[in-house]
Amino acid sequence: MNIGFIGLGNMGAPMAANLAAAGHQVTGFDTVAPCPDGVAQADSATHAAEGAEIVITMLPNGAILRAVADEVLPAMAPGAVLLDCSTVDVASARDVATKAENAGIYALDAPVSGGTGGATAGTLTFMVGGPDAAFATAKPLFDIMGQKAVHCGPAGNGQAAKICNNMILGVTMIATCEAFALADKLGLDRQAMFDVVSTSSGQSWSMNTYCPAPGIGPTSPADNDYKPGFAADLMLKDLRLSQEAAEAVDADTPMGAAARDLYARFVEIEDGAGRDFSAMLPRFEGRRREK
What binding mask, one character per residue, do residues 86-115 give for ligand NAD by CB under 6 A, x or -? xx------------------------x--x
Residues 6+ apart with CB under 8 A from 188: none
**Binding of residue 33 to ligand NAD (CB under 6 A):** yes
State the Cα–Cα distance between residues 130 and 109, nearest whole angstrom. 7
- 291 is an active site residue: no
Cα torsion 148, 149, 151, 155 to 10°: value is 150
Nearer to ligand NAD, 183 or 239 (CB): 239
Closer CB to ligand NAD, residue 68 or residue 81?
68
Choose, from 139, 148, 162, 227, the residue flagged as catalytic: 162
Min dist. Cβ of residue 125 to ligand NAD (A): 10
Which amino acid is present at 254? P
Under the criterion CB under 6 A, does residue 45 sit at the interface with ligand NAD?
A: yes
**What would you report as the CA-atom Rg of the chain, rounded to the nearest whole angstrom?**
20
How would you class 177 by CB atoms within 10 Å of its CB: exposed for 0-12, middle for 13-18, buried for 19 or more?
A: buried
Q: Does 10 bind ligand NAD (CB under 6 A)?
A: yes
Does 59 contact ligand NAD by CB under 6 A? Answer: yes
On whether the CB atoms of residues 75 and 107 are closer than 8 A, the answer is: no
- Residues 206 to 245 in contact with ligand NAD, rule: CB under 6 A: 234, 237
Residue closer to ligand NAD (CB basis): 31 or 224: 31
Q: Which stretch binds ligand NAD (CB under 6 A): 2-10, 153-161, 175-183, 250-258?
A: 2-10
- Candidate segments 57-65, 191-199, 246-254, 262-270, binder of ligand NAD by CB under 6 A: 57-65
8: contact with ligand NAD by CB under 6 A = yes
Q: Which long-range contacts (CB under 8 A, 24 or more apart) does 235-240 make?
A: 235/166, 235/169, 235/170, 235/173, 235/263, 235/277, 236/260, 236/263, 236/264, 236/266, 236/267, 237/61, 237/87, 238/87, 238/162, 238/163, 238/166, 238/167, 238/170, 239/166, 239/167, 239/170, 239/263, 240/264
* Residue 41 in the binding site for ligand NAD (CB under 6 A): no
Min. distance of Cβ 290 from ligand NAD in angstroms?
31
Residues catalogued as catalytic = 162
What residues line the site for ligand NAD (CB under 6 A)? 6-12, 29-33, 45, 58-60, 64, 68, 86-87, 112, 115-116, 234, 237
